[in-house]
Structure 1
Amino acid sequence: MADTNPLLAALRPGHPLRERLWQYALLVRANRPIGALLLVWPMLWALWIAAEGRPDPWVLVVFLAGTWVMRSAGCAINDYADRDFDGHVARTRQRPLAAGHIRPIEAIGVFLALSLTAFLLVLSMNRETVYLSFAGVALAASYPFMKRFHHLPQVHLGAAFGWAVPMVWTAQTGAWPGPLAWLIFIAAVLWATIYDTLYAMADREDDLKIGLKSTAILFGDADRLIIGVLQVMMMATLFLIGRDAHLGWPYDLSLVVAAGMFVYQQLLIAYRVPEFCLRAFMNNNGFGFAVFAGVALSYLLRA
């Protein structure tokens, strides 16, 4: 007997609704969580430091969900902005919008629905955090278009990804972010500039052909050197964060591990092979975890 339950029927392989939902999942990179993880780590650094190792459980839940939702929204608006370019880049030509599996208006709808979901989550926080959220949405929505106007979209991405830092700080403390919070924000911007430049190095030749801009193109043959300078600046900023937050030896050890990862990334990009550039980009997930482990252990051992 044929299944008469519409919901069960819709979940069957080949059903149009199931296929449509799968394309939406691909649009928001549900199959590639690395972007969400890179967004989550600085937020967790800031939350643990703001809470001195004892974060409010609801703030933690809201920001874990919110960062994941906003990253998904950012992917949707990014693919809408790049819909006329992705088909010319080997790595992106199979994205749902570029391949014609969904329409541009659907990507806009996904972006708006996810942004509204994130806003509903943040409404459970204090008023100051809600105010800060408007800047976060503006940064996320505008980032994908920056690569048409200037060579520093990676810095803009850093501000968009890093905006979770002042927001979570305010949500946890109930006060506007102070110098330490902004220092963590600076670290987040530097870090995103580093790892997204590594990512852009993999697409540099295609981006040059279609006229898109990036730090990888701007840096040219000096890319490895400038990334190295940014990595040193990042490590110095993390050191200052540990000093100002009075973190202990586990954090210092985590910085040694993180510095080793930066050295490994430099080795990976030595010959600018796209595959190895992407591998260096992926390595930053371990970097973010190492720093967070140092922060969390410092407070845990202090208790």
Structure 2
Amino acid sequence: MAAFCISRSSRRLRPSPFSYSLIQFFSDPISPTISLINPTSSDPFIGPSVLPRTQEIRYSIHIGSGFHTGKFDHFKSNLSNLSVAAISTSSGVTEGTRNGGNSPGEREGSKSQVSWIDLYLPKAVRPYAHLARLDKPIGTWLLAWPCMWSITLAASPGSLPDFKMMSLFGCGALLLRGAGCTVNDLLDTDIDKKVERTKLRPVASSVLTPFQGLSFLGVQLLLGLGILLQLNNYSIVLGASSLLLVFSYPLMKRFTFWPQAFLGLTFNWGALLGWAAVKGSLDPAIVLPLYISGVFWTIVYDTIYAHQDKEDDLKVGVKSTALRFGDLTKNWVTGFAIACISSLTLCGFNADIGWPYYASLMAASGHLAWQIWTVDLSSRADCNRMFVSNKWFGAIIFSGILVGKLTS
């Protein structure tokens, strides 16, 4: 894929007779939106770029490691020498298209998308940052929220949670999520190459070799171990035991229609670990309902997310709850949402938390209901939008626990 940036002179552009057409969409008279489109396809090679007026038309073409600039007259002749094969280079990845995860409103590999990684990080480390999905923080949020819930629940009544512990778990969530993505990409390379949304991931597109991916995974796990060793012995053993889930989850989609349930078991381990890190032990009456509620929540949001890939999953032969539930998806996830809120209610009751917590549960219930009732499961963009919105569900529950503990 290539990123084409074109600035326009004060005179109006006229269609040019070369093999690609310039389509202008005037969102306002000052900043026209211009994109380059392959006449044989309805999908643009690039996302629209909104650019200001300039005194002369200039262009830049970025293909792989090459970068070409010039004026508009020369741009026409250069474009005539470019083919789709040249634009879709053998590396499969250009600056701004190495998407590696949850890209709101975009399918990986379908459009160029420049992130802060491509703008600010050295070129040598960009593939690793994309492999860890550093530009897509939703996964880190979803991993961190159960930890924050648990740490806050473990605080003494009327007291704030341990901010040092929350900082450690925040960093740990970032590292573990990145490690999980690395494991996933290493194990799923054969699948990722066949799926439109994932075919440009660094390992699948051969930008990184499996050995480089394994080496990066070792660095991530070593850093995570450094954080884990700062906790008590009980938490170290409990945290280390989660690695079995981290390494086995990516394989579940090959054997069962319930990989989302295994993801829930993995992503919500922090609900157990956060409490143990503060208390030095577990209180099953409080932490088990919290953990189970997180598992149900994960099934809800990841089933919605899995509807993005259901056509590709059928082609490559992998399984998901999206395929298992089919047209009854909304009925199923409604049941899991009710189970999630019920488990959170039981957790709060056993923890003897204040009334603001239950008010937050009402707000959180409304958020889940809004997701389920309004999501268009046939729209990849809408499924992804609802998936990303779950960071606010986590924030609502956290706020309720925090205020409930302060007032209890």
- When the two structures are superposed, what TM-score results if normalisation uses the length of structure 2? 0.68
Q: Which structure's relative contact order is higher, taking Cα pairs within 8 Å and 6+ residues apart?
A: 1
Amino acid at match of 1:142: S
Q: Distance in 1 between matches of 2:405 and 2:282?
A: 23
Is 1:31 aligned with 2:163?
no
Instruction: Report how far residue 177 of structure 1 moved.
Output: 4.0
Match of 2:398 in 1: 292
2:329 maps to 223
**How far apart are 1:292 and its partner, in Å?**
0.5
> Counterpart of 1:64?
170
- Percent identity of the aligned residues? 35
**1:165 matched to which residue of 2?**
271
User: Which structure 1 residue ranges, 4+ long, deviate > 4 Å from structure 2?
Assistant: none
For 2:324, what is the secondary structure of its paired residue? helix
Question: 2:364 matched to which residue of 1?
Answer: 258
Matches for 1:147-158 after TM superposition, within 5 Å: 147-158=253-264
Counterpart of 1:138 (choices 244, 253, 262) is 244
> What letter corresponds to residue 133 of structure 1 in structure 2?
G
The whole-number CA distance in structure 2 between the counterparts of 1:244 and 1:185 is 14
Question: Highest CA radius of gyration, 1 or 2?
Answer: 2
Q: Quote the Cα distance in structure 1 between the aligned partners of 2:249 and 2:328.
A: 24
CA distance in 1, matches of 2:228, 2:278: 12
Counterpart amino acid of 2:129?
A
Amino acid at match of 1:49: L
Give the deviation of 1:99 after TM superposition: 1.8
CA shift, 1:21, in A, is 0.4
Distance 2:358 2:256 in 1: 37
Task: Tell me if structure 1 keeps the 8 A contact 2:301–2:390.
Answer: yes
Q: Which residue identity does 1:23 align to in structure 2?
A: P
Q: 1:45-101 CA distances to partner (integer Å, 9 max, x unpaired)? A: 111001234333332222111111101100111111111111222221221112221
Q: Secondary structure, in 3 states, of the residue corresponding to 1:202?
A: coil
SS in 2 for 1:84: helix
Which residue, out of 119, 125, 130, partners 1:21? 125
Cα distance in 1 between the residues matched to 2:130 and 2:268: 24
The answer (yes or no) to whether the contact 1:69–1:118 under 8 Å persists in 2 is yes
Residue 270 (structure 1) shift: 4.4
1:182-197 superposed matches below 5 A: 182-197=288-303
TM-score by length of 1: 0.90
Which range is displaced more, 217-226 or 270-279?
Answer: 270-279
2:37 aligns with: none
Match in the other structure for 2:28: none
- State the AA in 2 paired with 1:258: A
**SS where residue 264 of structure 1 aligns?**
helix
Instruction: List gaps (5 residues or longer) in structure 2.
Output: 1-116
CA contact (8 A) 2:356 2:404 kept: yes
Given candidates 202, 206, 214, the residue that maps to 2:320 is 214
Alignment RMSD (CA, Å)? 1.8
In structure 1, the gaps of 5 or more residues are: 1-12
1:200 shift after superposition: 0.5
User: Following TM superposition, by how much is the alpha carbon of 1:186 offset from its aligned partner in structure 2, in angstroms?
Assistant: 0.6
Tell me which protein shows more helix as a share of its residues.
1
Q: What is the rounded CA distance, in whole Å, between the counterparts of 1:244 and 1:201 in structure 2? A: 36
Contact in 2 for aligned 1:122/1:133 (Cα 8 Å): yes
Q: State whether structure 2 residue 144 is matched by structure 1 residue 44.
A: no
Counterparts of 1:100 and 1:83, CA distance in 2: 10
Rate the CA distance shift 1:176–1:266 in 2: closer, same or farther, 3 A: closer
Residue 118 of structure 1 corresponds to 224
Partner Cα distance (1:78, 1:271) in 2: 24
Counterpart secondary structure, 1:55: coil
- Please identify which structure carries the higher strand content: 2
> Aligned equivalents of 1:264 and 1:76: distance in 2?
32
Do 1:88 and 1:210's aligned partners in 2 also have CA atoms closer than 8 Å? Answer: yes
In structure 2, what is the Cα distance between the partners aligned to 1:276 and 1:268?
9
Report if aligned partners of 2:285, 2:347 keep a CA contact under 8 Å in 1. no
How far does the alpha carbon of each residue in 1:267-293 deviate from its partner, in whole angstroms, 9 at most, with x for none?
332453222111111111111101111
CA contact (8 A) 2:286 2:348 kept: no
The 5 Å alignment of 1:64-143 reads 64-143=170-249
Other structure's SS at 2:200 match = coil
Residues 228 and 239 of structure 2 are in contact (CA less than 8 Å); yes or no, is this contact kept in structure 1?
yes
Query: What is the DSSP-based 3-state SS (H/G/I as helix, E as strand, rest coil) of the residue aligned with 1:85?
Result: helix
Q: Please, which of 354, 362, 365 is the counterpart of residue 248 of structure 1?
A: 354
Q: SS of the residue aligned with 1:35?
A: helix
